[in-house]
Every structure is written in C-alpha cells, then in structure tokens.
C-alpha cells in the first residue's frame, strides 16, 4: 500500500508539473516548481562527496532543499533529485542523507518509497507505453537513453510495470 501510494503521488506530481507530450521528465524543474531549492553538494566538503543526495525539509521560512552530487553520472543525478523529491512529496519529515548504499537492496520503507516515487516520476507509464507500443522500441538501452535513466533503473521499472525483461 505504501509503495503504491508513492507511485500514485508521483503520478499526481506529473499531472501538475509535466507536459506528457515531452517524453522525458525534468526532475530539477519539477522540484523547483514545487518550491524546493535544488543545488549541487559542496565538492570541497569530503563528507558531502560521500553522498549521492540530501533532502532537508522546509523549516519556518526556509524552503526545502534538495542536494545532488554533481560528480556522479547525469542519469544518477537525475535519479537522485527525483528520489530526494520523493522524500519531499511523500512528506518525510526528517532530513535524509542518501549515500550510494541507500539506493541498494536493504532499505527502510521511506527509502524504498522514495525510490518507487523516483522511478514512477522519471519513467512514467505513459512515456514507456509510447516508446514500447507506439514507437515499437524493445531495446532496454534505447528506452533508458530516451528517458535519461540507467539501464538498471529501466529494467526495474519495466518489471514493476509487468513487462518481461
């Protein structure tokens, strides 16, 4: 139920902040439109460079902040921003520091939900249907490139949508 709600919340966010005629989703623009400040982590802070991302909820007059590691691959940066946006959209009230391991298998329910949100946000079912059904694209690498995500993320999303990969 919790995981399904992460996907439905991502669909609500997309309905409000995304033009479906654009196949690819811009998580940076969506996060900004939702009131978050999005910025790169400090490359001179050794502790920051151990992180993929960081979410700090809004507090008083301070807006929510989403940080990402600008030294990681662009597809990873996009997923990180979408993941941190998931923490925000799902109402996770505490600051989340996401290391590279956070995106692994053993995770808290909040991390799993943020990952599901990110996958649904970056790879909307509608875009995948357009690519697979309308454009007849069957190659995972081509699908991943079209949506600017990793092949691994695309395989997970396709399986979650019921495609045999």
Q: What is the CATH number of the domain that holds 16?
A: 1.10.10.2910
Residue 48, pLDDT score: 80
Long-range contacts of 7-10 (CB under 8 A, 24+ apart): 7/116, 7/117, 7/120, 9/89, 9/90, 9/117, 10/86, 10/89, 10/116, 10/117, 10/118, 10/120, 10/121, 10/124
Looking at the DSSP bridge assignments, the partners of residue 62 are: 59
Asked if residue 62 belongs to a domain, the reply is yes
Whole-prediction pTM value?
A: 0.90
Asked if residue 30 belongs to a domain, the reply is yes
Asked if residue 128 belongs to a domain, the reply is no
Asked if residue 162 belongs to a domain, the reply is no
Contact between 96 and 87 (Cβ < 8 Å): yes
pLDDT digits (tens, 9 = 90+) for 127-163: 999 999 999 999 999 999 999 999 999 999 999 999 9
Residues 161 and 165: their CA atoms lie apart, in Å, by: 11
Radius of gyration of the chain (CA): 15
Q: Is 110 helix (H, G, I), strand (E, B) or coil?
A: helix
Contact between 107 and 114 (Cβ < 8 Å): no
| Other Cβ atoms within 10 Å of 33 Cβ, number | 13
Contact between 116 and 6 (Cβ < 8 Å): yes
pLDDT bracket for residue 4 (50, 70, 90): low
Asked if residue 154 belongs to a domain, the reply is no
Number of domains in the chain: 1
Range of the domain at 84: 2-123
Asked if pLDDT for residue 103 goes beyond 70, the answer is: no
């Amino acid at each position: 139920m919790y995981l399904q709600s992460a996907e439905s919340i991502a669909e609500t966010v997309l309905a409000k902040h995304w033009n479906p005629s654009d196949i690819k989703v811009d998580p940076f623009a969506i996060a900004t439109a939702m009131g978050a400040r999005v910025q790169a982590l400090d490359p001179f802070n050794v502790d920051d460079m151990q992180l993929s991302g960081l979410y700090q909820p809004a507090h008083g007059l301070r807006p929510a902040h989403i940080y990402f590691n600008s030294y990681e691959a662009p597809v990873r940066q996009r997923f990180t921003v979408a993941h941190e946006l998931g923490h925000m959209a799902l109402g996770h009230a505490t600051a989340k520091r996401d290391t590279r391991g956070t995106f692994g298998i053993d995770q808290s329910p909040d991390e799993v939900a943020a990952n599901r949100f990110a996958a649904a946000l970056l790879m909307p079912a509608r875009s995948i249907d357009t690519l697979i059904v309308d454009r007849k694209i069957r190659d995972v690498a081509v699908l991943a490139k079209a949506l600017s995500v990793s092949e691994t993320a695309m395989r997970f999303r396709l399986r979650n949508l019921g495609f045999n990969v």
